[in-house]
């Protein structure tokens, strides 16, 4: 496909101005817009959802005290968000969605390896989101589960179809509402809840093993956002300061995760049978009758917003995967078909999900960590240390280009990173030998990062950078034309490398 071609072809017209006309294609400099601070509220609201709170339940369920549970989720969230935020800087530099950038490391067809794991992440999160959103809305409004699943998924589909700018607008305004509502709710929880009241249900004690399990779950949850963070920064001007992109993203995502996971840990420590919906209602209604129910509805609306964000990202990833084997002309019809297909899959899985889904959710978060750690290591090492932000964008869409169909370096590094993690796995169905020796502590992210990223760096020492520089220059001329815009692009890419060095990456 032509990386600069607008999403709709001329036979369908240029499309409504309300509907985004770009898909997996490159966003030209002349179309860039938005403010860098918008990344903060976008990812604050994107992470301020009930599924984030559920992650905070894990510590008390494993017997951790409230202080240790809070410490584990905060440290884990801050660690995982580090990777997510550095991915955000790739968007304005390359003008491409997140996952299609992986073609530079894995090859145009080889990128299907991380693509498969990423689609699993999108679908999995939306399944849990729609279940919680339906539970929340049914506390106020009539209707059965099936009806609410259809309505919620339908609204998410509409938001995803309209696209990037509407999603940013919705997330930004929801931020103000969520801060106000949950600010009051958190103060009420601190006043009305006794974190020791659930001690009879589970012993509140410290355990290094349990602490690491919670840390890994929080980190994996945050790292899962890395797979589409550039989708929502790729419209920013190419010369926007890298540090601002990184730190606005980090502040929004880490701040909301630390807040909501800690609130979840408080609820689980104080309530004998913790549940996100009932816990919020109980605390809120103790502050003011009806306030808890209102907070649940607001939380459910936020879930619909992030479901739209997930559906949008899933469409981009699946379109990228199909385009690798059969060229896709990204029309609005194709875009709608992809989003609707994801919605149908989410609906089907949600209908089959058991009522006791919390254990399934915790396992899902850990599996995300296992599959995504090697990818994030390879992708970030390539961007900040190997190619230093310089890419031939047109070659990412060209099977005969410099990145090729299959890039053995990225694939080998990814597989090696994943294999290195296996002895450290700790799940309900398998516990690795190293984890057993450590008493159950899950440290899999360490070998995944070191082996995946380190091996990729070593394998790239003999890359032909001279040929790539020539391809980059040709790509710039084709995308933006010769002259100032090409120079601007080179400066913007160099800024990415400078930011990495200044941040200690």
Mean pLDDT (the chain) is 85
**Mean pLDDT, range 245-253, rounded to an integer:** 96
Cβ neighbours for 232, distance < 8 A, ≥ 6 positions apart: 39, 42, 91, 164, 167, 168, 309
Least confident span in 14-28, 312-326, 421-435, 477-491: 477-491
- Quote the pLDDT of residue 152: 96
- Quote the pLDDT of residue 306: 93
Residue 158: other Cβ atoms inside 10 A: 12
Cα separation of 257 and 44, whole Å? 8
442 vs 501, more confident? 442
Question: Angle at the Cα of 153 (from 151 to 155), degrees rounded to 5?
Answer: 70
Read off the DSSP letter of residue 75: H
Residue 494 has pLDDT above 50, yes or no: no
- Quote the pLDDT of residue 482: 45
**Mean pLDDT, range 239-257, rounded to an integer:** 96
Cα→Cα distances 312→152, 229, 306, Å = 15, 12, 10
Residue 499 has pLDDT above 50, yes or no: no
Residue 485 has pLDDT above 50, yes or no: no
Cα separation of 502 and 354, whole Å? 48
**Mean pLDDT, range 258-282, rounded to an integer:** 90
**Mean pLDDT, range 36-52, rounded to an integer:** 93
> For residue 218, which of 377, 435, 71 has the smallest C-alpha distance?
71
Measured in degrees and rounded to the nearest 5, phi and psi for residue 431 equal -125, 120
pLDDT band at 360 (very low <50, low <70, confident <90, very high): low
- Quote the pLDDT of residue 361: 65
Q: How many CA atoms lie within 13 A of 472 on its CB side?
A: 19
User: Which percentage of the chain shows pLDDT scores above 70?
Assistant: 87
Q: What is the pLDDT of residues 183-217, one digit of tens each?
A: 999 999 999 888 775 444 444 455 788 888 889 88
Residue 179: other Cβ atoms inside 10 A: 17
> For residue 364, which of 49, 42, 58 has the smallest C-alpha distance?
58
Q: What is the pLDDT of residues 86-102, one digit of tens each?
A: 999 999 999 999 889 99
Cα separation of 394 and 385, whole Å? 21
Residue 16 has pLDDT above 70, yes or no: no
Q: What is the pLDDT of residues 112-126, one digit of tens each?
A: 888 888 888 888 889
Q: What is the pLDDT of residues 286-319, one digit of tens each?
A: 999 999 999 999 999 999 999 999 999 999 999 8
């Amino acid at each position: 496909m032509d990386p600069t071609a607008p999403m709709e072809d001329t036979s369908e017209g240029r499309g409504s101005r309300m509907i985004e006309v770009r898909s997996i294609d490159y966003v030209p400099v002349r179309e860039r817009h938005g403010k860098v601070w918008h990344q903060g509220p976008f990812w604050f609201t994107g992470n301020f959802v009930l599924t984030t709170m559920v992650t905070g339940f894990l510590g008390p369920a494993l017997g951790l005290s409230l202080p240790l549970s809070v410490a584990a989720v905060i440290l884990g969230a801050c660690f995982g968000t580090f990777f997510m935020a550095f991915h955000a800087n790739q968007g304005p530099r390359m003008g491409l969605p997140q996952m299609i950038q992986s073609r530079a490391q894995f090859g145009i067809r080889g990128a299907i390896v991380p693509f498969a794991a990423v689609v699993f992440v999108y679908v999995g999160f939306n399944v849990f989101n729609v279940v919680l959103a339906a539970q929340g809305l049914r506390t106020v409004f009539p209707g059965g589960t099936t009806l609410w699943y259809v309505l919620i998924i339908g609204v998410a589909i509409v938001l995803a179809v309209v696209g990037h700018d509407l999603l940013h607008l919705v997330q930004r305004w929801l931020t103000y509402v969520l801060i106000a509502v949950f600010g009051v709710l958190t103060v009420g929880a601190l006043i009305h809840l006794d974190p020791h009241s659930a001690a009879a249900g589970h012993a509140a004690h410290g355990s290094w093993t349990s602490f690491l399990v919670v840390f890994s779950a929080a980190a994996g949850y945050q790292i899962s956002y890395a797979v589409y963070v550039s989708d929502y920064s790729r419209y920013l001007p190419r010369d926007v300061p890298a540090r601002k992109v990184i730190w606005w993203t980090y502040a929004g995502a880490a701040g909301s995760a630390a807040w909501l996971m800690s609130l979840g840990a408080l609820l689980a420590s104080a309530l004998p049978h913790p549940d996100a919906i009932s816990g919020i209602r109980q605390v809120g209604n103790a502050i003011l009758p009806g306030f808890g129910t209102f907070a649940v509805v607001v939380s459910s609306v936020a879930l619909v917003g992030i479901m739209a964000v997930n559906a949008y990202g899933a469409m981009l990833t699946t379109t990228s995967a199909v385009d690798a084997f059969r060229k896709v002309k990204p029309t609005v019809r194709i875009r709608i078909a992809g989003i609707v297909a994801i919605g149908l899959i989410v609906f089907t899985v949600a209908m089959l999900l058991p009522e006791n889904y919390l254990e399934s959710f915790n396992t899902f978060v850990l599996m995300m960590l296992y599959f995504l750690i090697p990818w994030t290591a390879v992708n970030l090492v390539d961007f900040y240390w190997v190619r230093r932000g310089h890419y031939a964008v047109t070659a990412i869409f060209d099977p005969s280009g410099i990145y090729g169909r299959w890039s053995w370096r990225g694939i080998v590094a990814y597989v090696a990173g994943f294999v290195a993690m296996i002895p450290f796995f700790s799940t309900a169905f398998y516990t690795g030998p190293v984890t057993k020796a450590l008493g159950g502590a899950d440290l899999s992210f360490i070998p995944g990062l070191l082996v995946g990223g380190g091996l990729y760096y070593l394998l790239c020492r003999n890359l032909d950078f001279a040929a790539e520089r020539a391809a980059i220059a040709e790509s710039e001329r084709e995308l933006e034309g010769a002259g100032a815009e090409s120079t601007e692009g080179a400066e913007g890419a160099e800024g990415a490398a400078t930011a990495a060095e200044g941040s200690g990456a």
